[in-house]
């Protein structure tokens, strides 16, 4: 078995149990963990208790969440039971590895119940608490929720915010944070968006990866810009890999790029990352920002096929060519890499991107597809086939529950390097404008 991070000596099934008052960013953290693990090929899924509760009670008022409301309490517990039931079924039927139980789980009694339930089914519970007393952060979250929560669909936003604040107060009455009385549990407690992080009894590799990931997250607004290098001499002849120089049109793109970037970035501070290969460094060389070259951003290594065209590969290695078409994500060039290998080496890049603010990355087709797949949550079977034209600046703006994308073409012609699945391998000399 080839390892992508999980060792067989570890617990195979982990449930991340979210803990925290409403409007503390639990669902945001949940979604990010699911996206990050999925990108790393670790099967992950979230189970949101609220959506199970809505099956019975679609638009509850704050009173529903009162601890003295016996019917409300019963229904909320039922919802949690249903969520856990579905989760256990998912572990069984889908070879799931990490489930995330997205709910407040705000009392020790509730957590103790969930812990026993999970352990009884061979699932390791791992509590992730988001604790926050920063008024501005909470207020921003409330504003997000009142406009996005299905609980308040169709309601007056002012009324929704008021009701939601009343709901939070109901929870506050009974809320118990993770402390020394739960010292035997594995948990991480994130205080005011990683201003402080308390990590308790971390056991497995997966727990340690998740902890490292959440402690590097921030919520400042920023953008990430992606661009392929300008058209290269290899692109002109359809050769893969190598370390060619830019073509004259690639050079034109490099010269136009500062203007394009300036328009998109404005006066914001920016750092430019490139690969260690000539074509990305030549493309970035007129950009007036600090630059950094990463080996991890080098193009997918085509191994023995480096320097060959698709036609040559099809002639010399016909079975390989077909195998790659069949499963482009897993196919590893002889002596080279697969998309999966690229994702593995990009992991530290993604971690550092989460920590940083405005970053522009000038890199290569396959690498850009992998980075893009992380931010846009593109599934593995689709990401290697994604169209990323040359001479185009892509702007990604991560928002709480999605990432906004803008593409700015430089309007400088270039060959298309895109090869459609199952089609002829002939290299396209068609010029794309």
Catalytic residue from among 66, 129, 151, 229: 229
Helix axes 108-120, 70-94, angle to 10 degrees: 30
Q: Which parts of 247-286 interact with a second copy (CB under 8 A)? A: 271, 273, 276
Member of 70, 71, 158, 195 binding a second copy (CB under 8 A): 195
Cβ at position 425, least distance to a second copy in Å? 22
> CA–CA separation, 428 vs 38, rounded Å?
33
Does the annotation mark 68 as catalytic? no
Member of 251, 306, 311, 325 binding a second copy (CB under 8 A): 306
Does the annotation mark 364 as catalytic? no
> CA–CA separation, 331 vs 339, rounded Å?
7
Member of 122, 288, 290, 409 binding a second copy (CB under 8 A): 290
Contact call for residues 124 and 6 (beta carbons, < 8 A)? no
Q: Which parts of 121-140 interact with a second copy (CB under 8 A)? A: none
Bridge-partner residues for 47, per DSSP? 101
> CA–CA separation, 151 vs 148, rounded Å?
9
Q: Check binding of 155 to a second copy (CB under 8 A).
A: no
Count residues contacting a second copy (CB under 8 A)? 48
Contact call for residues 282 and 254 (beta carbons, < 8 A)? yes
Q: Check binding of 317 to a second copy (CB under 8 A).
A: no
Contact call for residues 160 and 90 (beta carbons, < 8 A)? no
Q: Check binding of 316 to a second copy (CB under 8 A).
A: no
Task: Please count the residues of the chain.
Answer: 433
Q: Which parts of 343-402 interact with a second copy (CB under 8 A)? A: 344-345, 347-348, 352, 355-356
The secondary element (H helix, E strand) that includes residue 392 is strand 392-399
Q: Is 259 annotated as a binding residue?
A: no
Helix axes 339-355, 205-216, angle to 10 degrees: 40
Catalytic residue from among 299, 301, 337, 347: 299
Joined tokens for residue 196: 């402080």
Phi first, then psi, for residue 403 (nearest 5°) are -125, 125
Does the annotation mark 391 as catalytic? no
| Per-residue contact flags (x/-) with a second copy for residues 196 to 235, judged by CB under 8 A | xxxxxxx--x--x--xx--xx-------------------
- Among the listed residues 357, 100, 345, 103, the one whose alpha carbon sits nearest the alpha carbon of residue 217: 357
Provide the annotated binding site for substrate.
228-235, 279, 326
Residues labelled catalytic = 102, 229, 299
Contacting positions for a second copy (CB under 8 A): 1-3, 5, 7-9, 183, 194-202, 205, 208, 211-212, 215-216, 241-243, 271, 273, 276, 290-296, 301, 306, 334-335, 341, 344-345, 347-348, 352, 355-356
């Amino acid at each position: 078995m080839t390892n992508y991070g999980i060792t067989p000596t570890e617990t195979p099934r982990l449930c991340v149990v979210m803990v925290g008052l409403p409007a503390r960013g639990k669902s945001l953290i949940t979604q990010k963990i699911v996206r990050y693990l999925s990108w790393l090929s670790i099967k992950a899924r979230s189970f949101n208790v609220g959506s199970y509760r809505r099956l019975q009670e679609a638009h509850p008022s704050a009173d529903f969440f009162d601890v003295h409301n016996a019917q409300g309490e019963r229904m909320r517990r039922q919802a949690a039971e249903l969520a856990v039931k579905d989760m256990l079924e998912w572990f069984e039927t889908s070879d799931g590895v990490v489930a995330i139980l997205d709910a407040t789980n705000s009392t020790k009694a509730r957590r103790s119940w969930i812990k026993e339930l999970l352990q009884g089914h061979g699932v390791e519970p791992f509590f992730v608490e988001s604790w926050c007393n920063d008024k501005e952060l909470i207020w921003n979250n409330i504003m997000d929720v009142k406009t996005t929560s299905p609980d308040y669909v169709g309601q007056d936003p002012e009324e929704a915010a008021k009701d939601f604040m009343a709901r939070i107060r109901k929870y506050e009455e009974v809320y118990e944070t993770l402390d020394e009385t739960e010292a035997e549990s594995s948990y991480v407690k994130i205080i005011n968006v990683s201003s402080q992080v308390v990590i308790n009894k971390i056991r497995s590799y997966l727990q340690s990866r998740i902890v490292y990931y959440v402690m590097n997250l921030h919520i400042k607004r920023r953008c990430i810009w992606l661009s392929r290098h300008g058209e290269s001499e290899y692109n002109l002849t359809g050769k893969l890999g190598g370390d060619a120089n830019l073509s004259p049109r690639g050079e034109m793109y490099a010269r136009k790029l500062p203007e394009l970037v300036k328009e998109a970035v404005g006066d914001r501070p920016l750092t430019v990352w490139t690969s260690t290969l000539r074509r990305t460094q030549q493309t970035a060389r007129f950009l007036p920002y600090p630059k950094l070259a990463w080996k991890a951003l080098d193009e997918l290594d085509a191994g023995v096929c480096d320097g060959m065209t698709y036609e040559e590969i099809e002639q010399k290695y016909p079975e390989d060519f077909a195998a790659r078409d069949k499963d482009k994500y897993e196919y590893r060039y002889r002596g080279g890499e697969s998309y999966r290998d690229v994702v593995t080496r990009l992991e530290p890049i993604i971690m550092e991107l989460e920590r940083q603010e405005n970053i522009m990355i000038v890199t290569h087709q396959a690498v850009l597809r992998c980075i893009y797949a992380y931010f846009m949550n593109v599934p593995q079977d689709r990401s290697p086939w994604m169209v990323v034209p040359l001479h185009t600046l892509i702007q990604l703006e991560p928002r709480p529950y999605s990432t906004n994308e803008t593409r700015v073409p430089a309007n400088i012609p270039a060959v298309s390097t895109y090869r459609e699945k199952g089609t002829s391998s002939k290299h396209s000399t068609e010029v794309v404008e």
